[in-house]
């Protein structure tokens, strides 16, 4: 063996070997238990970045580890290939989105190869290809038939930059999730998927996802936003009809002093037609905007309509109806009743418009009359628990009981009912864009909207489009959209909207189970075998987008008989971001790390020698130029060093700070590992057989640590604690190097521990592990070797170090036999001079002995 490890030779050699031998192909039929490991597939943006390297390295370690443990592993890769960047590239560079996308895929695939990932490339899919998207067109038609898809005209979020509609989940703080442009409200006819049909189930099933991070479950829980309450009908005074209101506090109905409706409420719209003052009020409200800051500072504004309503529990009382800027048409019924005493916003509104405040809940132990007087005079609403007062038949009931009683009376009198309201709304999937899956529907002037018949699928995207005019190229295409109606045969037009690209990513994990199937999306037996995904890995940014859509889609597919499960991802892991320090030149411009050289605490620009100011570490991004090119890193340090550093320091769910020192350290360890074999401190035994060898001194300790490390690393990898696994492997390396040749059994211990180290580290740094394994004379590759087993005999220890405390402070340690009884340990401890010194002659009041751990002498 050479004294230095040459990754430039070794890494491509092993990658070629794995490819030639189909080393990572999943077995079709297997007696082994299955394990489906999946990382969120990438969008083919053009080049891979460090976030990809981290994501796919984490998945690869799990896949290789499980394979070695004897699982039939499915570890596929594909491309989330539809999307807007391809269209933007088409507009800017006059290159067709299909060409741009396919070239990016081949570039990125080539960039993935040198990472040495254990991927089954035979299952690769790209969602922009008709052999993929044809199946989701069929799924959509099945959803339509099952009542899970529908078309309606509604107010939608319109992104003025992307010229398309966005789903609620894609609007962040009033801005488009990708463009950052302020979203406008528009009324459009759209296709929707009925995600609300599963609202309760999606919420309740979060409990069963025990291998998901809590915060993702909480985020989905909040997003679904279930609230229990009541629907209440208020009779309108002087005209037919009722005003329907949703409330979570039917117990406070006796405290109602007004009703308020949204300016988009049918009653408000009707009134606006004849009331110019209301129209003026509406435009004043619209001018405020919907950004976070605008909403926070916006004043509660109301417009007094001529309408009033009758109180449901007291026909003698009427309440005025306002149009108010804070009532949303999209939530509940677009109308509320206001109870100022017990809702701060209603209180603010009542004070502003001189409406009465009546306390109807008082804390249990306070004087009701005094509390009510104080509340009604003040400006703070009381929202705590208590007992109903001033509330007729509800008086004396606690809040929860009063809610039930109020709902009971409403229902009995046909004035309302208990109901559950969700924040979640149906998923709008229409996008006015070209580079997406065509929605397989046809608009016929005679027959209405009709589905494209199965035998005419797929509806292919036409390639001959141009991007010279704004808007959707499909809508501007001269011929594509003109078809004959499949029902009546007369001229009709295709739907020119395409699906939201989250449609494709909502079922790709199922396609990987049977990726070449032409007749169907996938074979039922294949998904029954492979799904759910055992370990899914990706960024937290999809906590409510992709992950919620996929959970819905799986249920919808089950409804339509495609598969038999509810939850697509059994285990979910959300990895942290890859961050880097930021650099700014004197002129304020950002600088790439490659343009900066650090000299001690100072940093200077290499080209000019000018000082550079150091900024905080942030997520790598092109805009701040704090990026490092994965290709460059692999060329300089090799894939194993890059992978090792990705896994070493930070726990995988936390952000990782990429540093030069860190990758250097990983590189040095790779070389150190090589030297353990190439320049061994102890001549290696012929084989790793240790049963017939007797060990002493450092050799014995090396053996013991090797076995301890097997147990610890196996546990760490199963729990995705890669950083601590690396630490333990480094400890074992240190121990191997410290093995003394003169100690009995040293050659066997050295070889055994080294081979153990290689097998344990192989999932993380597979190339060098294979190389050394081969150099040690193994004819079979390490990638085909079994995972090592710790020998319980070596894990057993006969003595243990106990901490000795006096009054809770550590004063000494002592060696005792494992399992030594309390009396023995106590007398050993009392005999220690440090204990006697600190006791200062006092007699112990109490001695606590925790076997094999600690003795605490209280005196």
The tokens of 599 are what?
């000299």
Residues 291-310 that bind RNA (CB under 7 A): 292, 295-296, 298, 300
Closest contact distance (angstroms) between CB of 632 and RNA is 19
How far are the Cα atoms of 171, 256, 315, 337 from residue 323, in angstroms, in the given order? 26, 16, 23, 12
* Residue 172 engages RNA in binding (rule: CB under 7 A): yes
Q: Which stretch binds RNA (CB under 7 A): 482-490, 504-512, 566-574, 658-666?
A: 658-666
Strand order in the sheet with 448-451: 448-451, 441-444, 491-494, 482-484
* Residue 723 engages RNA in binding (rule: CB under 7 A): yes
Q: Which of 457, 727, 776, 830 lies at the binding interface for RNA (CB under 7 A)?
A: 727
Token pair 């494209």: residue: 452
Find, among 857, 859, 858, 855, the residue nearest to 814 by Cα.
Answer: 855
Pairing between β-strand 846-850 and β-strand 491-494 as defined by DSSP bridges: unpaired
Q: Which of 615, 662, 747, 851 lies at the binding interface for RNA (CB under 7 A)?
A: 662
Closest contact distance (angstroms) between CB of 666 and RNA is 8
Residues 792-831 that bind RNA (CB under 7 A): 801, 803, 805, 807-811, 813
Q: Which stretch binds RNA (CB under 7 A): 224-232, 271-279, 490-498, 502-510?
A: 224-232
Q: Which of 34, 47, 624, 721 lies at the binding interface for RNA (CB under 7 A)?
A: 721
Q: Which stretch binds RNA (CB under 7 A): 335-343, 628-636, 787-795, 817-825?
A: 335-343
Q: Which stretch binds RNA (CB under 7 A): 47-55, 117-125, 513-521, 732-740?
A: 732-740
Q: Would you tell me how many other CB atoms lie within 10 Å of the CB of residue 833?
A: 9
Q: Which of 103, 184, 330, 528 lies at the binding interface for RNA (CB under 7 A)?
A: 330
Closest contact distance (angstroms) between CB of 792 and RNA is 17
Nearer to RNA, 129 or 244 (CB): 244
Residues 87-106 that bind RNA (CB under 7 A): none
Cβ(547)–Cβ(216) below 8 Å: yes
Q: Which of 214, 280, 454, 689 lies at the binding interface for RNA (CB under 7 A)?
A: 214
Nearer to RNA, 391 or 856 (CB): 856
Q: Which of 249, 542, 546, 751 lies at the binding interface for RNA (CB under 7 A)?
A: 249
Nearer to RNA, 53 or 444 (CB): 53
Nearer to RNA, 665 or 747 (CB): 665
Residues 103-122 that bind RNA (CB under 7 A): none
Site string for RNA, 349-388 (x = CB under 7 A): ----------------------------------------
φ/ψ (deg, to 5) at 174: 75, 10
What is the dihedral angle through the alpha carbons of 754, 757, 758, 762, rounded to the nearest 10 degrees? 180
Nearer to RNA, 473 or 638 (CB): 638
Nearer to RNA, 57 or 111 (CB): 57
* Residue 462 engages RNA in binding (rule: CB under 7 A): no
Nearer to RNA, 731 or 791 (CB): 731
Nearer to RNA, 27 or 330 (CB): 330
How far are the Cα atoms of 469, 525, 768 from residue 45, in angstroms, in the given order? 24, 34, 31
Q: Which of 657, 743, 791, 826 lies at the binding interface for RNA (CB under 7 A)?
A: 657
The tokens of 111 are what?
């960039």
Q: Would you tell me how many other CB atoms lie within 10 Å of the CB of residue 11?
A: 22
Determine the angle formed by the axes of helices 766-775 and 660-678, rounding to 10 degrees: 10
Closest contact distance (angstroms) between CB of 680 and RNA is 13
Closest contact distance (angstroms) between CB of 123 and RNA is 32
Nearer to RNA, 131 or 541 (CB): 541
Pairing between β-strand 78-79 and β-strand 171-172 as defined by DSSP bridges: unpaired
66 class by beta-carbon count within 10 Å (0-12 exposed, 13-18 middle, 19+ buried)? buried
The tokens of 664 are what?
């250097």
Closest contact distance (angstroms) between CB of 357 and RNA is 16
Find, among 643, 618, 617, 619, the residue nearest to 630 by Cα.
Answer: 643
* Residue 336 engages RNA in binding (rule: CB under 7 A): yes
Total chain residues near RNA (CB under 7 A) = 93
Site string for RNA, 739-778 (x = CB under 7 A): ----------------------------------------
Cβ(664)–Cβ(651) below 8 Å: no
Closest contact distance (angstroms) between CB of 544 and RNA is 6
φ/ψ (deg, to 5) at 531: -85, 155
* Residue 648 engages RNA in binding (rule: CB under 7 A): yes
The tokens of 127 are what?
């969602």
How far are the Cα atoms of 174, 178, 297, 571 from residue 290, in angstroms, in the given order? 6, 18, 11, 37
One DSSP character per residue, 542-573 reads: GTTTHHHHHHHHHHHHHHTTS-S-S-SBSBEE
814 class by beta-carbon count within 10 Å (0-12 exposed, 13-18 middle, 19+ buried)? middle
DSSP 432: -
Q: Which stretch binds RNA (CB under 7 A): 137-145, 557-565, 620-628, 849-857?
A: 849-857
* Residue 327 engages RNA in binding (rule: CB under 7 A): yes
Handedness of CA 573, 577, 578, 579 (dihedral sign): negative
Residues 686-715 that bind RNA (CB under 7 A): 712, 715
* Residue 832 engages RNA in binding (rule: CB under 7 A): no
Nearer to RNA, 167 or 531 (CB): 167
Q: Which stretch binds RNA (CB under 7 A): 62-70, 475-483, 505-513, 734-742?
A: 734-742
Residues 6+ apart with CB under 8 A from 377: none
Residues 402-441 that bind RNA (CB under 7 A): 421, 423
E strands, 40-87, where? 72-74, 78-79
The distance from CA 225 to its chain's CA centroid, rounded to whole angstroms, is: 18
Cβ(324)–Cβ(352) below 8 Å: no
Instruction: Tell me the β-bridge partners of 827.
Output: none
Nearer to RNA, 449 or 800 (CB): 800
* Residue 229 engages RNA in binding (rule: CB under 7 A): yes
* Residue 223 engages RNA in binding (rule: CB under 7 A): yes
113 vs 628: CA distance, rounded Å: 18
Q: Which stretch binds RNA (CB under 7 A): 147-155, 200-208, 505-513, 668-676?
A: 668-676
Closest contact distance (angstroms) between CB of 300 and RNA is 6
Site string for RNA, 529-548 (x = CB under 7 A): -----------x--xx----
Q: Would you tell me how many other CB atoms lie within 10 Å of the CB of residue 31?
A: 6
Cβ(614)–Cβ(599) below 8 Å: no
Nearer to RNA, 76 or 255 (CB): 255
The tokens of 81 are what?
């290939």
Q: Which stretch binds RNA (CB under 7 A): 19-27, 83-91, 186-194, 669-677?
A: 669-677
* Residue 649 engages RNA in binding (rule: CB under 7 A): yes
Residues 626-645 that bind RNA (CB under 7 A): none
* Residue 262 engages RNA in binding (rule: CB under 7 A): yes
Residues 546-565 that bind RNA (CB under 7 A): none
Query: For residue 99, what is the enclosing H or E element?
Result: helix 97-112
Question: Omega before 458 cis (within 30°)?
Answer: yes
Find, among 757, 672, 707, 191, the residue nearest to 449 by Cα.
Answer: 191
């Amino acid at each position: 063996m050479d004294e230095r490890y040459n990754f430039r030779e070794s890494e491509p050699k092993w990658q070629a070997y794995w490819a030639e031998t189909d080393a990572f192909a999943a077995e079709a039929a297997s007696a082994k238990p299955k394990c489906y490991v999946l990382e969120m597939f990438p969008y083919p943006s053009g080049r891979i970045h460090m976030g990809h390297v981290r994501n796919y390295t984490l998945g690869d370690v799990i896949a290789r580890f499980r394979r070695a443990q004897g699982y039939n592993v499915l570890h596929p890769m594909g491309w989330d290939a539809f999307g807007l960047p391809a269209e933007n590239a088409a507009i800017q560079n006059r290159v067709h989105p299909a060409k741009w996308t396919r070239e990016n895929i081949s570039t990125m695939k080539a960039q993935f190869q040198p990472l040495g990932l254990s991927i089954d490339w035979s299952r690769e899919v790209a969602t922009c290809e008709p052999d993929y998207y044809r199946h989701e067109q069929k799924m959509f038609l099945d959803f339509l038939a099952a009542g899970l898809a529908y078309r309606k005209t509604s107010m939608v979020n319109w992104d003025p930059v992307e010229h398309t509609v966005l789903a609620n989940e894609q609007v962040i703080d009033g801005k488009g999730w990708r463009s950052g442009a302020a979203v406008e409200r528009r009324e459009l006819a759209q296709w929707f998927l009925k995600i609300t049909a599963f609202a309760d189930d999606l919420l309740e099933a979060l409990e069963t996802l025990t291998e998901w991070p809590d915060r993702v479950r909480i985020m989905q829980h909040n997003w679904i936003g279930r609230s229990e309450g009541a629907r209440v009908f208020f009779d309108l005074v002087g005209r037919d009809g009722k005003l329907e209101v949703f409330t979570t506090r039917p117990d406070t109905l006796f405290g109602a002093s007004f009703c308020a409706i949204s300016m988009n409420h049918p009653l408000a719209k009707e009134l606006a037609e004849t009331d110019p003052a209301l129209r003026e009020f509406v435009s004043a409200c619209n001018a405020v905007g919907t950004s976070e800051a605008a909403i926070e500072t916006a004043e509660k504004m109301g417009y007094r309509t001529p309408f009033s309503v009758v109180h449901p529990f007291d026909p003698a009382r009427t309440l005025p109806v306002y149009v108010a800027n804070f009532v949303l048409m999209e939530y509940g019924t677009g109308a509320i009743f206001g109870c100022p005493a017990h809702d701060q916003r209603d209180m603010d509104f009542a004070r502003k418009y001189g409406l009465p405040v009546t306390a109807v809940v008082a804390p249990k132990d306070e004087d009701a009359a005094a509390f009510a007087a104080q509340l009604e005079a003040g400006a703070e609403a009381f929202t705590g628990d208590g007992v109903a007062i001033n509330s007729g038949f509800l008086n004396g009931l606690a809040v929860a009981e009063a809610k039930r009683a109020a709902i009971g009376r409403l229902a009995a009198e046909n004035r309302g009912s208990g109901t559950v309201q969700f924040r979640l709304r149906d998923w709008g999937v229409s996008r006015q864009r070209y580079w997406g899956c065509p929605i397989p529907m046809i608009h016929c002037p005679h027959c209405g909207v009709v589905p494209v018949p199965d035998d005419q699928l797929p509806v292919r995207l036409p390639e001959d489009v141009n991007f010279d005019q704004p808007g959707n190229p499909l809508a501007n295409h001269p011929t594509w959209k003109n078809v004959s109606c499949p029902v009546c045969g007369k001229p009709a037009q295709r739907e020119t909207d395409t699906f939201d690209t989250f449609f494709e990513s909502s079922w790709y994990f199922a396609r990987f189970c049977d990726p070449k199937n032409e007749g169907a999306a996938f074979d039922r037996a294949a998904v029954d075998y492979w799904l759910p995904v055992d370990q899914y890995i990706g960024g937290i940014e999809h906590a409510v987008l992709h992950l919620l859509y996929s959970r819905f889609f799986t249920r919808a597919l089950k409804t339509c008989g495609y598969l038999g499960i509810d939850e697509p991802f059994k285990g979910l892991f959300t990895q942290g971001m890859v961050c880097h320090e930021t650099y700014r030149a004197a002129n304020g411009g950002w600088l790439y790390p490659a343009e900066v050289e650090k000299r001690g605490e100072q940093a200077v620009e290499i080209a000019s020698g000018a000082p550079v100011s150091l900024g905080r570490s942030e997520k790598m991004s092109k805009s701040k130029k704090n990026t490092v090119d994965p290709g460059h890193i692999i060329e300089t340090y090799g894939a194993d060093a890059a992978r090792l550093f990705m896994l070493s320091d930070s726990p995988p769910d936390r952000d990782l700070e990429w540093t030069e020192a860190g990758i250097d350290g990983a590189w040095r360890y790779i070389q150190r590992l090589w030297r353990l074999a190439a320049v061994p401190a102890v001549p290696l035994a012929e084989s790793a057989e240790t049963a017939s060898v007797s060990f002493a001194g450092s050799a014995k300790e090396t053996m013991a640590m090797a076995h301890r490390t097997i147990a610890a690393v196996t546990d760490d990898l199963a729990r995705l604690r890669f950083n601590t696994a690396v630490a333990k492997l480094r400890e074992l390396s240190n121990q191997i190097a410290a093995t003394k040749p003169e100690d009995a059994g040293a050659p066997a211990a050295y070889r055994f521990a080294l081979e153990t180290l290689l097998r344990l580290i192989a999932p993380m740094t597979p190339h060098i592990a294979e190389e050394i394994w081969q150099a040690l004379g193994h004819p079979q590759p390490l990638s085909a070797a079994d995972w090592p087993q710790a020998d319980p005999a070596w894990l057993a220890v006969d003595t243990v170090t106990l901490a000795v405390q006096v009054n809770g402070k550590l004063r000494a340690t002592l060696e005792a036999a494992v399992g030594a009884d309390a009396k023995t340990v106590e007398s050993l401890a009392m005999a220690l001079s440090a204990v006697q010194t600190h006791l200062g002659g006092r007699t112990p009041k109490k001695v606590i002995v925790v076997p094999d751990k600690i003795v605490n002498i209280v005196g």
